Amino acid sequence: MNYKPNAREVGESIKQKLARYFGTAPEEATKDQLYKACAMSVKDILTQKRSDFRTQVNREGKKRIYYMSIEFLLGRSLKTNLHNLELAEAYNEALAEYGTDLDSLYECEPDAGLGNGGLGRLAACFMDSLTSLDYPACGFSLCYEYGLFKQRIIDGVQIEIPDVWLPGGEVWLVPRTDRIFKVRFGGTVRENWREDGRCEITYEDCEEIEAVPYDMMISGYDCAAVNQLRLWKARDIHHFNMGLFTQGQYTKALEKSTNAEILTKSLYPSDNHIEGKLLRLSQQYFLASASTQSIVRDHMAVYGRIDTLPDKVSIHINDTHPALCIPELMRILIDDYTLDWDTAWDIVTRTVSYTNHTVMPEALETWQEDLFRFRLPRIYMILKEINERFCKQAWEAFPGNWNRISNMSIISYGQIKMANLSVIASHTVNGVSKLHSQILVDTVFKDFYHMYHNRFDNVTNGIAHRRWLCFSNPQLAGLLDECIGTQYRKDPKTLSEFIKFADDKTVLDRLGEIKYNNKVAFANYYNRITGRRIDPNSVFDVQIKRLHEYKRQLLNALNIISLYIRLKDNPNFQMQPMTFLFGAKAAPGYDMAKRIIKLICCLSEEIEKDPVIREKLRVVFLEDYNVSLAEKLIPSAEISEQISLAGKEASGTGCMKLMINGAMTIGTLDGANVEMLDAVGEENISIFGLNAKEVEALWLSGYRSVLFYGDNAILRRVVDSLNIGFNGESFSDIAGYLLAGYGIADPYMCLADFESYRLAHLSLTEKYADKDLWNKMSLKNIAAAGHFAADRSIREYADRIWKLKPVDGIKK
């Protein structure tokens, strides 16, 4: 089949789709219909290419990776697919005939926002690299009817609006009603010991829910592979009570199905904070069970025997949320395939690996034991057995050391600990940056590290550089193509060749121009959407990430307030005009995060009312930050704020997207920043603040924020100004929190890092006046960013953890 139709063929296929699905012709079609027609025609190409790829994978008997994640933050697909397939030109040419172009159709596609932040976006970037590198891979997640809420800001207050994405997003999904599995909840488990010594398991009064797969094809760049992401939707087994329906009781008839279907209604919007809700546990088991059943079924269909599973299948759990695949695989192997415990356990532990994404204690998942037993009785029995066997082993390693054993135990004090389960059953456990992986073995998993020395590894995160550089910053990609050729698109480490142009004035000027053009484009977009203005001649200083105290948007705000006070004292104060841009969603129940949004918004409003000051200082809170907004904003960013308290941010990936687009990082020695410093050199990144060891020491010795307050007149004025507040709203609660008048001091130590941050920021913005110097630093960041591509991360996972090989016979 022809994967590369020409413009005429593309035009023909769009026309056919319009006629068939909308009964309309190109000239009469709406933009939305044209978008859908394009998407459907692209899907046809992917389907065919996928079928060829699958045949090849099976013929070569290749091992597959199954990547399980409760979140996949995909964003839009049309643009990525067209660029990956190198078909954008043909489509544009065809669409020109119909009086439109791709750029306007892209905007019709809703973001698939099936994730909160870093963890979900990483999963999406990894699928891109897995495919581009020709590895056979399948992602598993849930088909949430509502993705992450849409954010409206009204008078500085975040309002959450349901995110209805399916009407425009479902063109990419293929329902596979031939691959439905059943997932069981609740009820009673009966063990019937048979004469042959086997134990037969039966269930009474349990609830069975159908898992219906919706598959999305994942394209890669310049490769043979098309992989898939399988999203499970919950469906009531009884579908419909016909009896009631015919009696005219419509609502009653539907009632039962609504209960089951609530499972995949909505994504939990909290990032880094678990609530231990029954529905969440059910979602996790639903994902784990359906996916594991699907993996085993597919393996048996190709190989016909279960013992080769670890040779042909690798299952990766993206944090602990899908960890119930461990007892679920045990269940299938023992109950359905009649394997004995040891054989089953051997298969499981050679198949599963686990990445940890956070050390924040409130994000480490635990479930109440009684709730768990009630909802998942068979899985509970299996966990008990895993735990008992583990504890025996731990006793041998640490005889008599109850404390240690209880720390590592899966079940203790009425709690089920998912991280412990994940470590015990995985052949490899990794963190997501060097620092984070080190912290894991030094703290959270210290005892496990003693027992299982070789199990721990590090794979530093990476980003889909094609999406985040090539496709979203075409001007910069064009300059790179001219300077170093197009090789870096396939092999991002060759971006390093760009360093040869560090002293080339023409290239540096071009870089400056491109950044300026991107700033103008963003300012225009912002103006179109909000009616407000931002000055493209000011420095674009960007902090984009979930709103969390540990990420310290508040520290950024405090520094802005210090600049504002300085300008109010002396409106003639000469400074580099600055625009501080924030994009962040707060978890709906996270009050402090919402107060910080309010502070930023009030500050913004107050400054906006001052015609003199706003020429030099502007604060912008961007509503509804999501993947598509990130793609528009990041190419225009000049300063990247990565200012979390050292030791708290596992990696960060936004930092990488900004770096590869030439922004200068101001950051602490946290997460991936540490490795960015190594890659780019200290003259090209602005590092400030306490390092992780110093944070720990200060915490242990007792952090007293008032000492920092007392020592620094500027800081005193900044904190005091919160009491009067901004735009008529007092923020004395935040002042109180920072100073810990009552209770515990701000655990993220904003005041401890304030002065160091302020000075670093000042000296960085002073450098901006020297255009050549700035552009050179920017160029060096781009040249050093290749290491932070997901292609590199995925190769590391494939070689060291999954033992995976790409398909051989590359046929594109």
Give residues in contact with ligand 26W (CB under 6 A): 116-119, 122, 268, 270-274, 319, 357-358, 363, 432, 461, 649-653, 671
DSSP per-residue string spanning 580-615:
EEEE----TT-HHHHHHHHHHHHHHHHHHT-TTGGG
Catalytic residue among 121, 545, 585, 614: 545
Catalytic-role residue among 63, 378, 551, 614: 551
Strand, coil or helix: what is 304? Answer: coil
Chain Cα centroid distance, residue 490: 22
Cβ distance to ligand 26W smaller for residue 148 or 719: 148
CB closer to ligand 26W, 515 vs 551: 551
CA atoms within 13 A on the CB side of 217: 28
CB 738 within 8 A of CB 705: yes
Could you give the 3-state DSSP secondary structure of residue 175?
strand
Is 17 assigned a catalytic role? no
Count of helices and strands (H, E) across the chain: 35, 25
The β-bridge partners of 200 are: 192
The residue among 358, 289, 370 whose CA lies nearest residue 329 is 289
- Phi, psi at residue 741, to the nearest 5°? -50, -45
For residue 629, CA distances in Å to 102, 584, 622 come to: 17, 11, 9
For residue 388, which amino acid is it?
A: E
CB of residue 687 to ligand 26W, shortest distance in Å: 17
Residue 471 backbone dihedrals phi, psi, to 5 degrees: -90, -30
Which CB, 117 or 662, lies closer to ligand 26W?
A: 117
Q: Is 79 a catalytic residue?
A: no
CB of 292 to ligand 26W, least distance (A): 21
551 an active-site residue? Answer: yes
Question: Which of 206, 364 has the CB closer to ligand 26W?
Answer: 364
Query: How near is the Cβ of 399 to ligand 26W at its closest, in Å?
Result: 34
Question: Would you call 803 a catalytic residue per the annotation?
Answer: no
Q: Degrees (nearest 5) of the Cα angle 87, 91, 95? A: 170
User: Closer CB to ligand 26W, residue 268 or residue 540?
Assistant: 268
- The continuous run of DSSP H or E covering 154 comes out as strand 150-154
Nearer CB in complex with ligand 26W: 460/473: 460
429: part of which helix (H) or strand (E)?
strand 428-431
**Closest residue to ligand 26W, based on beta-carbon distance:** 118
The smaller minimum CB distance to ligand 26W, of residues 102 and 231, is found at 231
Shortest Å distance, C-beta 635 to ligand 26W: 21
Radius of gyration of the chain (CA): 27
- Written as six digits, the tokens of 362 are 């409130």
Neighbouring residues of 621: CB distance < 8 A, sequence distance ≥ 6: 153, 582, 583, 597, 600, 601, 604
- In whole angstroms, give the CA distance from residue 395 to residue 449: 15
Residue 376 CB, nearest approach to ligand 26W (Å): 18
Shortest spacing between CB 132 and ligand 26W, in angstroms = 19
Least distance CB 631 / ligand 26W (angstroms): 18
Q: Which of 76, 184, 357, 787 is catalytic?
A: 357
Q: How far is the CB of 359 from ligand 26W (least distance, A)?
A: 9
Angle between helices 31-60 and 7-17 (to 10 degrees): 110
Smallest CA-to-CA distance from 311 within 646, 102, 62 is with 62
Question: How far apart are the C-alpha atoms of 463 and 73, rounded to whole Å?
Answer: 13
Give dist(CA 432, CA 530) in Å, integer: 37
Active-site residue identified among 648, 657, 787, 795? 657
Contact 98, 27 (CB under 8 A): yes
**657 part of the active site:** yes
156/689 with CB nearer ligand 26W = 689
What does the block give as tokens for 83?
Answer: 């660029």
Q: Which is nearer to ligand 26W, 7 or 364 (CB)?
A: 364
Burial of 43 (0-12, 13-18, 19+ CB in 10 A): buried
Tell me how far, at minimum, the Cβ of 431 lies from ligand 26W, in Å: 9
Paired tokens of 245: 């329906």
Quick check: is 545 catalytic?
A: yes
Minimum CB distance to ligand 26W, residue 288 (Å): 15
Reading the block at residue 632, the tokens are 């528009």
From the list 358, 653, 665, 668, the catalytic residue is: 653
Nearer to ligand 26W, 358 or 420 (CB): 358
Distance CA 468, CA 800 (A): 26
Q: Which is nearer to ligand 26W, 214 or 590 (CB)?
A: 590
For 204-223, letters b (16+ CB in 10 Å) and e give eebbebbbbbbbbbbbbbeb
* Close Cβ partners of 96 (under 8 Å, ≥ 6 residues apart): none
Q: Which is nearer to ligand 26W, 276 or 485 (CB)?
A: 276
Contact in structure between 664 and 764 (CB atoms under 8 Å): yes
Q: Nearest approach, Cβ of 690 to ligand 26W (angstroms)?
A: 18
Give the shortest CB-369-to-ligand 26W separation in angstroms: 19
Q: How far is CA 132 from the centre of its chain?
A: 19
DSSP assignment string, 596-665: HHHHHHHHHHHHHT-TTGGGTEEEEEESS--HHHHHHHGGG-SEEEE-PPTT--S--SHHHHHHHTTPEE
The owner of tokens 């950024």 is: 556
Cα–Cα distance, 475 to 452 (Å, whole number): 49
- Alpha-carbon gap, residue 11 to 340, rounded angstroms: 59
Residue 33: phi and psi, rounded to 5, are -65, -40
Q: Which is nearer to ligand 26W, 355 or 556 (CB)?
A: 355
- Rounded to a whole number of angstroms, the minimum distance from the CB of residue 212 to ligand 26W is 25
Task: Kindly list the catalytic residues.
Answer: 357, 545-546, 551, 653, 657
